[in-house]
Amino acid sequence: MYLAIAGNIGSGKSSLTALLSEAFGFRPVYEAVSENPYLEDFYRNMAAYAFHSQVFFLARRVRQHLLEVNGQDRVVQDRTLYEDALVFARHLHREGYLSERDWRTYLDLFQSLAPALRKPDLLLYLRASLPTLKARIAKRGRPFEREIPDRYLLGLNQLYEELMAGWDLSPVYVVEADRVDFVEREEDREALLEALRARIRP
């Protein structure tokens, strides 16, 4: 079974990936944030480094799928290829940070690669408002995330809602991250795991 965790920056994807890996015996696959050599430059100058950063994430996500997701029995992944393209890259294009030419080139790469990759059996979407995202981003303390504009996070949230409204690749389970704190509150953690037991094959 392949579980995918979707959600904005700071929504709790990595924490949920670790929790489900431990609770249900899934192999965790984490986003390669710290490995992206363009990311700090991107947050300083989005227009100059948007294409470079997105292509890095696309290439790394495809490699993860081929080596760690495709063919694995039980795997849980922190963020999907679909979010990279249809949320993050699309938002950068809408905001003018990706030119029309770069967006079309990126989209062609994504559409060429996506059919070769395994589709999730269940997508867990962490829905979080701006205050929740900002509080969690501040708490984890990555220096390059401190100055992420509110407009950027809000734009991503809008595109996440659009993606979820049209998602037809798998069932979706929505976790309302404003109310459910599975990291700090044991009762929330246990309630979430209990709700998921009926949806996760043994």
140 is in an annotated binding site: yes
Does the annotation flag 10 for ligand binding?
yes
129 is annotated as contributing to ligand binding = no
> Which of 78, 102, 108, 178 does the annotation list as catalytic?
78
Q: Which long-range contacts (CB under 8 A, 24 or more apart) does 131-140 make?
A: 131/178, 132/10, 132/11, 132/177, 132/178, 133/8, 133/9, 133/10, 133/11, 133/157, 134/10, 135/10, 136/10, 136/11, 136/12, 137/9, 137/10, 140/10
Q: Is 41 annotated as a binding residue?
A: no
Does the annotation place 48 within a ligand binding site? no
For residue 85, what are its two tokens?
Answer: 């393209």
The reply to whether 84 sits in an annotated binding site is yes
**Residue 4 C-alpha from the chain's centroid:** 9
- The CA distance from 73 to 77, in Å, is 13
Q: Binding site annotation covers 14? A: yes
The set of residues, in sequence order, having a beta carbon less than 8 Å from that of 66 and lying 6+ positions away, is 116, 117
Q: Is residue 136 a known part of a binding site?
A: yes
170 is in an annotated binding site: no
Q: Does residue 78 carry a catalytic annotation? A: yes
Task: Please give the positions annotated as active site.
Answer: 78
Q: Residue positions in the annotated binding site?
A: 7-15, 31, 43, 54, 79, 84, 136-140, 145
Q: Residue positions in the annotated binding site for ATP?
A: 7-15, 136-140
Q: Residue positions in the annotated binding site for substrate?
A: 31, 43, 54, 79, 84, 145
